[in-house]
Chain A
Amino acid sequence: MIVPAPVLPTTRDENWKHAPLRGIERLRWAPPTALTQEARLAATALLGDDPPQGAISTRIVLIDGLHCPDLARGPVGGDAAGVGPGVAFHATDAPAQPGAATVSIDLAFAGLNRHHRQGELRIRVPDGETLELEVVCIALSCGHPALRIDLGARATLRLFERHIGATGSLANLALSVQLGHGARLEHARLLQPADGARHFETLEAVVGADAQHRMIQVTSGAAATRSTALVALEGAGADLGWHTAVLGAGTQTHDAYVRVTHDAPAVRTEQGFRGIAADRSRIAFNGHMRVTARAPGAHSAQTLRGLTAGAAAEIDLRPQLEIDIDDVRASHGATIGKLDADMLFYLLSRGLDPATADSLLKWAFIADVIARLSDPAWRSRFEDALAPLLPGAHAARSLT
């Protein structure tokens, strides 16, 4: 299918100038209409030796945006996902027109998702309840997975989200989050599509009063990833922690745009980014903090760090502040550089070979993000996923 050109952003659009957009209008955007046995087998192979010990007992798997009950895990219930009454996969009746609901170019891919999606996974946690869940999205050809998370007052959700994809696959995820009064979302995201895959995603979140949203995300693999996140802190005392690590290699491009709107009194944001660009890869991160006149007492802190580890690698950082009130404390810092020569020398002088020393220092660089995972089992899964990318760094695992 040829996508209407006006729907898609171009590199002339300010927030998209780093994303690899060439030829996207020619990609095959239409997903398969049904899951075949072949697809189930391929997805099983990609999942690998799951689950690890101590992992989450409840799992939902979407293949190219379609629910696959065969690969689900956990208690059997009467609903589509087999998890509980609050979790269900709803098939889409009629697709939205492309771009019909698009209000800005940042939501262009969300509009495409709405048009192509074949269903939506809805996760609703009632007031005061707690749920732990793993969602795996597998892209085999082309998929538009859609997730909607709705937490009631004082509800807690611990969500482990994985994205894997076959070579050449295309995924276009839409994720919406609504956190009620005093709710808490612990959100760990591991994005590891295969080389040559493309991954686009649009995250929209509204955080209510005294609610907490903790996001830890690690991205590696794929030919190109583009992540757009629009977060609104709309309730007084809302609290956001957003920490991301990206490892680029080969000719990969990883581009992220996170806009946080502080729109209520005494809201807080802490944002961290770590990017390692090796070989000829390119990493871009645009962190846009807005504080409106309705947010007295807001506090925003941003720390963005990039490590250039390839002769032709590139890192672009854009820490942005847009503030319309004086009762605010906002700061940001951004650094880009190479590995510290003194640290490298120290490790070499202790007898480590150069490759191991290099891996250890890179591990330490991103450990700041992974160490924020409070659950040791989740941390271990992130470390397992990253170990092949940083060979020799296993010695440092116990330190994080």
Chain B
Amino acid sequence: MSNDTQLEELVSRGYQHGFVTDIESDSLPPGLDEDVVRAISRIKGEPSFLTEWRLKAYRHWLTMHEPTWAHVRVQPIDYQAISYYSAPKQKTDGPKSLDEVDPKLLETYAKLGVPLHERARLAGVAVDAVFDSVSVATTFKDRLHKAGVVFCPFSEAIHSHPELLERYLGTVIPHTDNFYACLNSAVFSDGSFVYIPKGVRCPMELSTYFRINAAKTGQFERTLIIADEGSHVSYLEGCTAPMRDENQLHAAVVELIAEHDAQIKYSTVQNWYPGDENGVGGIYNFVTKRGDCRGRNSRISWTQVETGSAITWKYPSCVLRGDNSVGEFYSVALANHCQQADTGTKMIHIGANTRSTIVSKGISAGRGQNTYRGLVKILPTAHGARNFTQCDSLLMGARCGAHTFPNVEVRNPTATVEHEASTSRISEDQLFYCLQRGISQEDAVNMIVNGFCKSVFKELPMEFAVEAQNLLAVSLEGAVG
């Protein structure tokens, strides 16, 4: 197949992960009260400290209100109409290996291109697949175990490593943090848990694939990654959902902890169903992600490509507590049709000689609204702190919007902070050059957009970079001309 044909196929296809898997599932009835919170905890067989923690979060959530400061229009969410737990029906004992996993589930992940079977070995990526509320399969466990790495579903870690959970859970994002994180703390059902012991470099990329399948449910997963002293891990995250006319809520929490000399690289390609071109349906993606560089010389790097979701509300952040610690945020956010994205980062400099870099690329097309919202805060203890922020927006169409709301707060005279931003449409000169070289307008736009995002794509692991470029091309379909 020629490159042109491939590209044409790519551009002409719509949201390709919108199918529904017909699979039996166990669900709690819609509604939320203390009994539902207790029921989730009971299903998971959680220790009492965790049940109490959930209940404390739920009671606090009742006192909170949805945030209204973001530059998005959200249809009212009926929290009592959501089912807070849905899991594929399992045999009594649960699957011991991939061979025991429901073939329909494996088929679903095959359709999504997630390597759960033999392709996983070729890809060299360990995968944890989360389907609705539970983890259905985790690969390469033995090999990781030999290296001392713990990579398992959150519900398994509750039993295998309760001491780590009790020590670290909620220490980066407390249940009081914000409305959606508080809701997640009360009703989270599963997610991934990663612990990298001292001095270990994780032998492979770790990956979690999140899938919402059941209707009228929300997904509330929780991820906790702990990199102990001198360790290193690279973690990838992907997500999809079926095409439905209803809006579904995804309110996740991700906590990262990097001790002395540890490094965590967290990459996301977010492709939740964005709704149709009239803004009907799509996922409300309200996620809280934060990394805590607790140790000296630690480093946390967030890279995200946000092409999906009807509404994205997400600010992966770094608390740079340890001296010489480094925080990075690289982001591409695309809002096409009626999508709305309010995303950005916070870099809180507390330790001496801490450094942070923010590179954000926003693309708005159709009637999409894209907002960068950022905070760089240098506290009095952060001697010699440095930040560089670059924040560019590209507009494609007269009805889209690009908004930039950075906040810079400096309370130390030895700090240096630089922020630059630009907003423009695709250069007519660039477009004309491509057209007169025989390149079609749509291909030319894709090339220019990819060039615009290059500084972020180069931070992604290679497989994800290719996927991200393809996703952008698909997501921009119909935005030109």
**B382 at interface (Cβ–Cβ under 8 A)?**
no
CA–CA, A308 and B411, complex, Å: 8
Q: Which residues of A contact B401 (CB under 8 A)?
A: 322-324
Question: In the complex, what residues of B have CB within 8 A of residue A329's CB?
Answer: 423-424
Out of A296, A315, A332, name the residue touching B404 (CB < 8 Å): A332
Knowing A336-B410, A337-B417, the reply to whether A326 touches B393 (Cβ < 8 A) is no
From residue B448, how far is it (CB to closest CB) to chain A in Å? 14
**Cβ of B441 to closest chain A Cβ, rounded Å:** 15
Chain A residues with CB under 8 A of B399: 293
CB distance from A43 to the nearest CB of B (A): 38
State whether B415 touches A334 (Cβ < 8 A). no
A308–B412 contact, CB under 8 A? yes
Give chain A residues whose Cβ lies under 8 Å from the Cβ of B405.
318, 320, 322
Residues of B within 8 Å of A326, CB to CB, are: 364, 395-398, 400, 425
Instruction: List residues of A (318-373) whose CB comes within 8 Å of B's CBs.
Output: 318-338
Q: Residue A338 contacts which of B400, B413, B424 (CB distance < 8 angstroms)?
A: B413
CA distance A306 to B417 in the complex (A): 10
Contact of B421 among A14, A321, A335, A337 (CB under 8 A): A321
Q: Are A334 and B406 in contact (CB under 8 A)?
A: yes
B458 at the interface (CB under 8 A from A): no
**Is there a chain A Cβ closer than 8 Å to B420's Cβ?**
yes
* A293 surroundings in chain B (CB, below 8 A): 398-399
A309 interface residue, CB < 8 Å from B? Answer: yes
* Residue among A293, A312, A329, A337 having the largest count of chain B Cβ atoms under 10 Å: A337
B246 part of interface (Cβ distance < 8 Å): no
B422 within 8 A of A: yes
Contact of A325 among B398, B408, B413, B422 (CB under 8 A): B398
Interchain CA distance A377-B481 in the complex, whole Å:
56
* A313 contacts B by Cβ under 8 Å: yes
Closest Cβ–Cβ distance, residue A237 to chain B (whole Å): 20
**Which of A319, A331, A333, A338 counts the most B-chain CB atoms under 10 A from its CB?**
A319
Q: Which residues of A contact B410 (CB under 8 A)?
A: 306, 308, 314-316, 336
B160 adjacent to chain A (CB < 8 Å): no
State in angstroms the CA–CA spacing of A316 and B424 once bound together: 26
B408 to chain A: closest residue by CB: A317
Docked-complex contact B408 and A336, CB < 8 angstroms: yes
Of all chain B residues, the one with the shortest Cβ separation from A288 is: B405
CB distance from B156 to the nearest CB of A (A): 42
* Nearest-CB residue, chain A, relative to B424: A329
Q: Which residues of B contact A320 (CB under 8 A)?
A: 403-406
Does A168 sit within 8 A of B, measured CB to CB? Answer: no
A310 at the interface (CB under 8 A from B): yes
Q: Does B409 contact A (CB under 8 A)?
A: yes
Cβ contact within 8 Å between B413 and A332: no
State the interface size on chain A (CB cutoff 8 A).
Answer: 35
Q: How does the 8 Å CB contact mask read for B374-416 relative to A, with 1 for contact and 0 for none?
A: 0000001000000000000101111111111111111111111
B383 shortest CB reach to chain A, Å: 11
- The answer to whether B404 touches A312, judged by C-beta atoms less than 8 angstroms apart, is no
Q: How far is the CA of A337 from the CA of B412 in the complex (A)?
A: 9
Judge if A94 is at the interface, Cβ distance under 8 Å: no
Q: Give the residues in chain A near B380, CB-CB below 8 Å.
A: 312
Nearest chain-B residue to A327 (Cβ)?
Answer: B425
Known interface pairs A308-B412, A311-B413, A325-B395. Does A331 touch B422 (Cβ–Cβ under 8 Å)? yes
Q: How far is the CA of A296 from the CA of B397 in the complex (A)?
A: 12
Give the complex CA separation of A337 and B418 in angstroms.
9
Question: In whole angstroms, how far apart are the Cα atoms of A97 and B414 in the complex?
Answer: 48
Q: In the bound complex, do residue A323 and residue B393 qualify as a contact, i.e. CB atoms below 8 Å apart? A: yes
Cβ-based interface call for B141 (8 A)? no
Task: Known A306-B410, A316-B408; judge A333-B403 contact (CB<8 A).
Answer: no
The yes or no answer to B419 lying at the interface (CB within 8 A) is yes
B69 at interface, CB cutoff 8 A: yes
**A324 proximity list for chain B (CB < 8 A):** 400-401
| CB of B140 to closest CB in A, whole Å | 45
Which residues of B (128-178) have their CB < 8 Å from a CB of A? Answer: none
User: In whole angstroms, what is the CA distance A319 to B409 when docked?
Assistant: 12
Given A321-B402, A326-B398, A338-B414, decide whether A333 and B408 contact each other with a Cβ distance below 8 A: no
User: CB-CB < 8 A to A312: which residues of B?
Assistant: 380, 411
In the assembled complex, which residues on chain A have CB atoms less than 8 Å from the CB atom of B423?
A: 321, 323, 328-331
Q: In chain A, what residue has the closest Cβ to B422?
A: A331
Identify the closest chain A residue to B414 (Cβ): A338
Q: Which of A309, A324, A327, A336 has the most CB of B within 10 A?
A: A336
A177 to B416, CA, bound (A): 38
Find chain B residues with CB under 8 A from A322 CB: 71, 401, 403-405
CB-based contact B424/A335 at 8 Å = no
The interface bits of chain B over 82-116 (1 if a CB of A lies within 8 angstroms of the residue's CB, else 0) are: 00000000000000000000000000000000000
Provide the A136-174 mask, 1 if CB < 8 A to any CB of B, else 0: 000000000000000000000000000000000000000
Task: Please report the C-alpha to C-alpha distance between residue A318 and residue B375 in the assembled complex, in whole angstroms.
Answer: 9
Inter-chain contact A332/B421, CB cutoff 8 Å: yes
Q: Which of A316, A321, A337, A338 contacts B409 (CB 8 A)?
A: A316
Q: Which residue of B lies closest to A308 (CB)?
A: B413
**Interface, chain A (partner B; CB < 8 A):** 14, 293, 296, 306, 308-338
List 13 A-B residue pairs with CB atoms under 8 Å apart, sorted by A's residue number: A296-B398, A308-B412, A316-B407, A317-B408, A317-B419, A318-B405, A318-B408, A319-B406, A326-B364, A327-B425, A336-B415, A337-B416, A338-B413
- Nearest 4 pairs of A and B residues by beta carbon: A326-B395, A308-B413, A326-B425, A334-B419
